[in-house]
């Protein structure tokens, strides 16, 4: 009788390990969902959560650039940008829409 109980535990552990493995594979979502944005706006420094830079677009939308180059990390500069919205993540900043920049340059 003890063998049967032990076998059930072994199978339960195997099942749980397989379930975790399958669920882990489901968490590797693509980097982008295909939602691209283009616009112009102002880089702003936000003094929250240790400080970070965001972009306030001319239409009022707030973007949190995940890969803002150091040369653009200046408060109150005007930029033109393209990027891909990251709908698959949340940030500790809880400000703006996470955005992977594909291009950025100073507004002419």
Question: What pLDDT, in 10s, does the model give residues 47-83?
Answer: 987 899 999 999 999 999 999 999 999 999 999 999 9
What pLDDT score was predicted for residue 21? 55
Six-digit token pair at 34?
């295909």
Strand partners of residue 26: none
Q: CA 96, CA 63: separation in Å to the nearest integer?
A: 4
CA distances from 47 to 53, 54, 88, 99 (A): 9, 11, 25, 19
What pLDDT score was predicted for residue 3? 66
61-87 residues labelled b (16+ CB within 10 A) or e (exposed) = eebbbeebeeebeeeebebebebbbbe
DSSP class of 48: S
Q: CA 97, CA 31: separation in Å to the nearest integer?
A: 15
Model pTM above 0.85: no
Average pLDDT over residues 16-30: 50
């Amino acid at each position: 009788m003890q063998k049967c109980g032990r076998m059930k535990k072994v199978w339960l552990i195997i099942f749980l390990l397989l379930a975790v493995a399958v669920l882990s594979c489901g968490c590797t979502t693509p980097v982008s969902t295909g939602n691209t944005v283009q616009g112009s706006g102002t880089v702003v420094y936000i003094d929250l959560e240790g400080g970070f830079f965001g972009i306030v677009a001319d239409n009022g939308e707030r973007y949190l650039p995940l890969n803002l180059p150091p040369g653009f990390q200046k408060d109150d500069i005007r930029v033109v940008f393209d990027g891909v919205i990251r709908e698959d993540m949340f940030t500790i900043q809880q400000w703006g829409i996470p955005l992977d920049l594909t291009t950025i340059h100073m507004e002419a």
